[in-house]
Structure 1
C-alpha cells in the first residue's frame, strides 16, 4: 500500500534524502530503517480475504499489498519528487508496465518517443497492441509532431528526458501543457537519467514520474527496482491492479538496499556531474572522438533546454568515434582497467557499452522511414553510452586514453 510522503517540506534535498520516510523505531529505538522480511502480518482489525476488502485499512496484511520497508522507500521517493504518494515495483519496466496498463485499456491511444529505452520501446511496440492499446511513436523534441499525433482517444503522453541512449531532451512543461489542453488525461515522465536531483517533472505539470531504481537512486548496482510517483488519489487507484493483480512488487530486501542508496543520492549526483563534465570535455577534445552528447556541454543540441530544465546534468553521455565502434568495443573489453564494459547505468562505478544503430533499428526502433533516417542522422552507425561513476575523473580519463 502506498504511503504519503513524510518529513518537513521545508527540508533541503540532502536532508530529505536521508530522513524522509524514516523515523526512530519506537520499540527498539533503532536509528536505521528496519528490514521487515515477513510476507504476512497479523492485522489489528478483521478484514476480508480479498485485497479489495483491505482498501482503507492502514496497517499491513500481506506483502504483495504493502510492506513496512517498501512503504518507507515509497515515502522517501514521494518526498524527493515533491509528489503525494509513490508505488514501488520489482524493476523499472515493471513500474512502467503497471502505470501504462493500469491506466490504459482497449481502444485507448498512447504516444511515446520514437527513440527511448529499449524495454519500453519493445513493450509499447510489440505487446500493447495485442491488448488493443494503440501506440504512436513521435519525436518529442518536435512539439508540432506531438500535437499532430494527439487523437480523441489519446489518454497518455509518455516522455523520457534525457532519452536512453540518444541523450535527447524534451520540454516537459511545454508538452504537458499541450497534452492537457488537448484533453490528454495523463502525462508520464521517465526521469531515470535525470533523477529528482536534476528534474522534478511533477513541478512541471506532469501527472506521473517513473524511475528505474536500479540506476541512480539505488546507485550501487546491487538491487533492482522501479517506482511510480504522483497524486495520492491516482496512486491509490493504481495500487490494487498494478501491485496486487500484476504482482510485480518490490522485495523488502531490495527496498532496504535502495533506501540506503537513496540517502546519498544528492551528494552522489554532484560527484557524477563533476566527473562527467571533466570526462565530456576530454572526449570532445580528443582527436579519436567525432562527437559527444552531454547536456552540460554547449555543443549539445538542446543545451539551452537542459540549463532551463535540469539542476544537475547527471553522469550520462554518449559519444561517437572515428574508429569503428565494434572494433573499439572489443579493445575496451580487453584493456579497460577501471571502467567496466557492461550494460546498465547510474552506478557508483563507471560503465560503458557500444550501442550499434543497426542493432537498435532491428530490435527496437522499427518505425517509419523518416524516423529511422533521423535516428541514423543523429547517432550515425552507433554510440558508446558512458555512465560516469564517482571515481576520480583523471583516472577515468587515463583509462579511456588507453583505448582511444
Structure 2
C-alpha cells in the first residue's frame, strides 16, 4: 500500500457484528479472557486476548498497528504522552551504571528529565553536538548503551545524520539508537529504515494534528517492545486513554495530506520571513539557507511545518505584541496542530532552565540563537493570512 492508503486503513477492520466502517471506541477497563490465565501481568499470554487495559486495549492496539505501518516498524507501543514514551524507552532500556549520549539541544522536557532525574538512578549521560559525528564518536565509552537523536531538533531545527550516526554507534557496540521523530513525523523521515533501533513520537503533535489529544509512542522491533510493554506500560503505568487513541487515530488518517499542506505553507512563510526587514535569520530545513539543507534533502521526504527565526529587535518586545495583537496565529506552546502556533524562547531563559551547557557548548548555542528565537508551527490556514498576521507584530 502507498502511505496515504496505509494512513486510512492500517490497523482498522470492519466490525464483524455491527459492520461499522469507522474504528470502534472501546472504553472498557477489563475484559473477559478467552482462556484461564494467571492473575499477574507476568503470566498473561496473547492467546488469552485482552485482560486489563493497562496491558492492552483494542482501540489503542488499532492505533499502534497504524503507526507501525506508517513508520515501517515491526510494532509500536503507545503511552499517555510524548514524555511518557521517552521515559518508557530510556528507563526500560537503561540500568544503573549504563551511559547514554543525548543531543546538546533537544526538547526541553527530555533535556530536563535527563539532567534532573537520570543521575538519581545511577545512569550516566553526556550531552553532545549530534551534528558532529566526531564529537559523538569521542563521547562513546565502554559503558555506552544508547545514542539519542532528535531530528529536526526542538527548537533550533538542527539535523542529525541518522544513517551515519547509527552505523557509527552500532560499529562501536551500542545497543540502542533512538530517534525522536516528532518534528518530522513518519511522512518526513523514517529513522528505522536509516538504521535506528527505536523511534519516539509525541502523538500530541503532527500525528494527532488537532491539538485535542495527548499521547506518545515508541516504535521498533516487536521483541523489544513486548519487553518494554511489560515494564513501561504495566509497571510504570503511563498508558494511553482509549478515547485519546481514537482521536489520534482519526488524526493519523489524514497525516499524509496534512503534512503536504504544512510543508507548502511553511515554505511560503519561511521565504516571506527571509525577506522581511525585521527578521535577521530564518531556520527551515527546506530553505537552501539552512546549513544542513543537503542533509535535509537526503533524509527528509517532507520538510514539515516547523520554522525558527530571529529578529533584529528584542524578540521579547515583539512577543508581548503577539500576545495581544495576533488574530489567527496563536501565541501558545506546542506544535503540529492545524492552527498556527508561535512562541518566544529566550536564550538566557532556556540556558538557565533547561540546557545548562558547559562554556564551549553554551557559546555554540548563543552563536546559533543570539538573544533568542521564535518557534513557529505553521498550520493549515492560508499562508497569506499567516504572513499578514505576523506582519502586524513584526
| TM bracket (short chain) | over 0.9
Give the equivalent residue in structure 1 for 2:205.
215
| 1:58 shift after superposition | 5.2
2:209 and 2:106 mapped to 1: Cα distance?
Answer: 21
1:239 and 1:403 mapped to 2: Cα distance?
Answer: 47
The root-mean-square deviation of aligned C-alpha atoms, in Å, is 0.6
Q: Which runs of 5+ in 2 are unaligned?
A: none
| 1:323 shift after superposition | 1.1
1:28-54 alpha-carbon deviations (Å, 9 max, x no partner): 101000000000001110111100000
Give the equivalent residue in structure 1 for 2:226.
236
Contact 2:36 2:48 in 1 (8 A): no
Give the equivalent residue in structure 2 for 1:273.
263
Q: Which runs of 5+ in 1 are unaligned?
A: 1-10
Give the equivalent residue in structure 2 for 1:36.
26
Runs of 4 or more above 6 Å deviation: none
| 1:55 shift after superposition | 3.6
| 1:56 shift after superposition | 3.8
Which of 111, 124, 131 in structure 1 is aligned with 2:114?
124
1:368 and 1:325 mapped to 2: Cα distance?
Answer: 25
1:303-350 alpha-carbon deviations (Å, 9 max, x no partner): 000000000000001000011111000000111100000000000000
Which of 8, 15, 20 in structure 2 is aligned with 1:25?
15
Contact 2:103 2:128 in 1 (8 A): yes
2:261 and 2:43 mapped to 1: Cα distance?
Answer: 47
State the secondary structure of the residue aligned to 1:76.
helix
Give the equivalent residue in structure 2 for 1:375.
365
Tell whether 2:35 aligns with 1:74: no
1:98-149 alpha-carbon deviations (Å, 9 max, x no partner): 0000000000001000110000001111100100000000000000000000
Which of 181, 193, 197 in structure 2 is aligned with 1:203?
193
Give the equivalent residue in structure 2 for 1:328.
318
Contact 2:37 2:45 in 1 (8 A): no
| 1:17 shift after superposition | 0.3
1:248 and 1:81 mapped to 2: Cα distance?
Answer: 22
Which of 54, 78, 87 in structure 1 is aligned with 2:77?
87
1:291 and 1:45 mapped to 2: Cα distance?
Answer: 63
| 1:150 shift after superposition | 0.3
| Within-5 A mapping of 1:107-186 | 107-186=97-176
| Inter-CA distance 34–381: structure 2 relative to 1 (3 Å threshold) | same
Tell whether 2:377 aligns with 1:384: no
Contact 2:331 2:343 in 1 (8 A): yes
1:195-235 alpha-carbon deviations (Å, 9 max, x no partner): 01010000001000000000000000000000000011111
1:205 and 1:309 mapped to 2: Cα distance?
Answer: 12
Give the equivalent residue in structure 2 for 1:253.
243
State the secondary structure of the residue aligned to 1:229.
strand
1:335 and 1:102 mapped to 2: Cα distance?
Answer: 45
The number of residue pairs the alignment matches comes to 394
1:38-82 alpha-carbon deviations (Å, 9 max, x no partner): 000011101111000004435100000000000000000000000
